[in-house]
Amino acid sequence: MRPKEGQVRIPSGCAIAAVISRDGNRMSGEGMIHAMEPMHDRSNGLGGGFAGYGIYPEYKDFYALHLFFDSRDTRKACEAFLKTGFEICHSERIPTRKLPAITDEPIIWRYFVAPLQSVLRDLQLDEKEFVVRTVMRINTEMKGAYVFSSGKNMGTFKAVGFPEDVGVYYQLEEYAGYAWTAHGRYPTNTPGWWGGAHPFALLDYSVVHNGEISSYDANRRYIEMFGYQCTLQTDTEVITYIMDYLLRRQGLTLNEAAGVIAAPFWETIDRKTDLVDKEKHIYLRTLFPSLLITGPFSIVLGFEGGLMALNDRLKLRSMVVGEKDDRVYIASEEAAIRRIEPDVENVWSPAGGEPVVIRVKEGVQL
């Protein structure tokens, strides 16, 4: 039998796209579907997905857990498990549309949950850490159940198929968010199931990624010391955990985290004349050497209130950024941006290792 993704490591090429409104204006998910169309050949029909931010305003205080199940029994068992630690405010099947292009679908549900305070007190954990541990536990221990989205007021939607079809399948035109990311995948092998599609998400962090990182096992073996378990053996999974570790657990800023994973070369650091900046980079590289990511990557990290685009330090993958009014677009190819915004302005290619952070303006209610 052919192994499923997670049992083998599958390298992939990819296409990514993203959009954010700095004014916090909500956009339908349909735009992202169209953005992926001109990059059709960057995917091979074996994976596509989207992340939307600000899509669940009515449940914004609850963690939105999106799960795949292989059977009704698994779902029942998983729900029973969830109830031991969470109040489930609302649960439902995620609405989908039958398409000939999307087959082998699992059972897909979402739960809007809040951790039980009594459980948090017993375990001496904060809310987010408890959610992370629950996600890790389900994904590693509960056969046939898989949490693929776990943030507040955001959600990811992914499947095996071309991204344009995946977007239609999940009826993304029904959702409105202030930021969206999209991904089309070109894996070298058949993944066998839907977990390995992107985006990859933990809490409100989501990552879409194009590339194959050469540092994978160094990164994986380091991050697994801190309770993360890489069940899928994909680059995107480990990048997501690294970002959660650096941003949430270590409290680094986005720029500092970029200075860890796409660290400037030593010769660049040695030449810096701003001594505070120089010290900072020496410190970050010395402290987190195992979280340096090498090999080609372009990623878009989604988080509450913003996006960060980042290329590997040699810029071995294409990525462009453009603007129009309150919106900022990011994509593997300019064509993707022009499909949805023909009048895009200020298109540029960020340099390798140069993070581009776009946030919704302060004070805007998300």
Task: State yes or no: residue 222 binds other proteins (CB under 8 A).
Answer: yes
- Measured from the CB atom, is 14 or 108 closer to other proteins? 14
Task: State yes or no: residue 255 binds other proteins (CB under 8 A).
Answer: no
Task: State yes or no: residue 252 binds other proteins (CB under 8 A).
Answer: yes
Question: Of 76, 266, 348, 361, which one interacts with other proteins (CB under 8 A)?
Answer: 266
Task: State yes or no: residue 13 binds other proteins (CB under 8 A).
Answer: yes
Stretch touching other proteins by CB under 8 A, among 30-38, 112-120, 158-166, 211-219: 211-219
Any residues with CB less than 8 A from the CB of 337 and at least 6 apart, and which?
Answer: 17, 35, 320, 322, 329, 331, 344, 347
Distance CA 342, CA 12 (A): 29
Choose the catalytic residue: 14, 78, 89, 230.
14
- Measured from the CB atom, is 110 or 313 closer to other proteins? 313
Stretch touching other proteins by CB under 8 A, among 108-116, 148-156, 176-184, 285-293: 285-293
Question: Of 45, 99, 105, 295, which one interacts with other proteins (CB under 8 A)?
Answer: 295
Question: Of 91, 214, 229, 231, which one interacts with other proteins (CB under 8 A)?
Answer: 214
Question: Of 90, 93, 221, 271, which one interacts with other proteins (CB under 8 A)?
Answer: 221
**What dihedral do alpha carbons 285, 288, 289, 294 form, nearest 10°?**
-90
Closest CA to 73 of 158, 142, 150, 169: 142
- Measured from the CB atom, is 295 or 350 closer to other proteins? 295
Least distance from other proteins to the Cβ atom of residue 256, Å: 7
Distance CA 342, CA 113 (A): 40
Please tell me whether the peptide bond between 115 and the residue prior to it is cis, using omega within 30 degrees of 0: no
Task: State yes or no: residue 287 binds other proteins (CB under 8 A).
Answer: yes
Q: Is 65 helix (H, G, I), strand (E, B) or coil?
A: strand
Task: State yes or no: residue 100 binds other proteins (CB under 8 A).
Answer: no
Is residue 14 flagged as an active site residue?
A: yes
Contact 211, 317 (CB under 8 A): yes
Q: C-alpha distances in angstroms, 109 versus 104, 143, 153, 193, 294?
A: 16, 16, 16, 16, 36
Strands ordered across the beta sheet of 179-187 = 154-159, 48-53, 179-187, 12-21, 327-331, 320-324, 345-348
Q: Which helix (H) or strand (E) holds 69?
A: strand 63-69
- Measured from the CB atom, is 252 or 308 closer to other proteins? 252
Any residues with CB less than 8 A from the CB of 134 and at least 6 apart, and which?
Answer: 82, 85, 86, 147
Task: State yes or no: residue 3 binds other proteins (CB under 8 A).
Answer: no
Stretch touching other proteins by CB under 8 A, among 24-32, 92-100, 164-172, 214-222: 214-222
Question: Of 119, 125, 218, 357, which one interacts with other proteins (CB under 8 A)?
Answer: 218
Question: Of 280, 324, 338, 359, which one interacts with other proteins (CB under 8 A)?
Answer: 280
Strand partners, 195: none
Q: Return the CA Rg of the chain.
A: 19
Closest CA to 113 of 131, 89, 146: 89
**Residues at the site binding other proteins, with contacts judged by CB under 8 A:** 9, 11-13, 188, 211-219, 221-222, 224-226, 250-252, 256, 263, 265-267, 276, 279-280, 282-290, 292-296, 313-314, 316
Residues with a catalytic annotation lie at 14
